[in-house]
C-alpha cells in the first residue's frame, strides 16, 4: 500500500485552493535535511498526502493530495556545479476538506496521540503519517 505523508504549506504562499486550481505542482523549497531525505529517498509516486496549512488561523489539515512524481533535484537549489542539494516531488490535487481540521482539535482526537505533527517542537514541513492516523483523519474530515 502507498505510504502516507503530511506536507505543510503556508496558505499565503501556496494553499489547497491553489493546488485545486493548478491540479498539479512541484513541492519545492524544502530546506531541512530530514525533510529533504524523505523527499529524496522515501516518497514515491502514488503516496498519499495530507495537505496542511501552517502559519494560518487556524493551522490545520485542509485536504488531500497524491504524489505523481517521486523525488528529483529541486531545480532552484544546487551547490556549485550540478550537485543537487535539495529535492522536490510533484503532487496532484485530490480533495479539499469541507472544513479545515484545526491543529487544536487534532490534539484531542483519540488515535492521534503519537502523530508527529502533534509532538512538541515538531516543525518538519514533510513528515510521515501512519495508516492508522490517516484513517482517523479521513473519518474526522467526513463528519
Q: Rounded distance, CA 52 to CA 68, Å?
A: 18
Q: CA–CA separation, 102 vs 115, rounded Å?
A: 14
Query: Who wins on pLDDT, 100 or 85?
Result: 100
Residue pair 40/71 in contact (Cβ under 8 Å)? The answer is: yes
The predicted model gives 117-134 an average pLDDT of: 91
With a CB cutoff of 8 Å and minimum separation 6, the contacts of 87 are 30, 36, 39, 40, 71, 72, 73, 74
Whether 81 shows a pLDDT value over 70: the answer reads no
17-76 pLDDT, tens per residue? 999 999 999 998 899 999 999 999 999 999 999 999 999 999 999 999 999 999 999 887
Pairing mode of beta strands 87-102, 24-27: antiparallel
Distances (CA, A) of 133 to 4, 128, 138: 9, 10, 9
d(CA 140, CA 60): 12
Residue pair 125/7 in contact by the 8 Å Cβ criterion: yes
- Single pTM value for the model: 0.92
Domain 4-142 is found in CATH 3.40.50.1820: no
Amino acid at each position: 500500500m502507498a505510504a502516507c505523508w503530511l506536507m505543510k504549506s503556508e496558505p499565503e504562499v501556496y494553499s489547497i485552493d491553489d493546488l485545486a486550481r493548478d491540479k498539479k505542482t512541484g513541492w519545492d523549497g524544502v530546506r531541512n535535511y530530514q525533510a529533504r531525505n524523505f523527499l529524496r529517498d522515501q516518497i514515491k509516486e502514488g503516496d498519499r498526502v495530507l495537505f496542511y496549512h501552517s502559519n494560518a488561523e487556524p493551522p490545520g489539515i485542509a485536504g488531500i493530495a497524491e504524489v505523481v512524481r517521486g523525488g528529483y533535484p529541486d531545480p532552484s537549489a544546487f551547490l556549485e556545479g550540478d550537485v543537487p542539494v535539495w529535492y522536490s516531488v510533484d503532487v496532484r490535487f485530490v480533495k479539499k476538506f469541507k472544513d479545515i481540521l484545526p491543529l487544536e482539535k487534532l490534539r484531542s482526537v483519540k488515535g492521534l496521540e503519537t502523530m508527529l505533527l502533534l509532538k512538541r517542537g515538531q516543525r518538519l514541513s514533510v513528515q510521515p503519517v501512519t495508516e492508522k492516523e490517516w484513517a482517523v483523519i479521513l473519518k474526522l474530515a467526513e463528519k
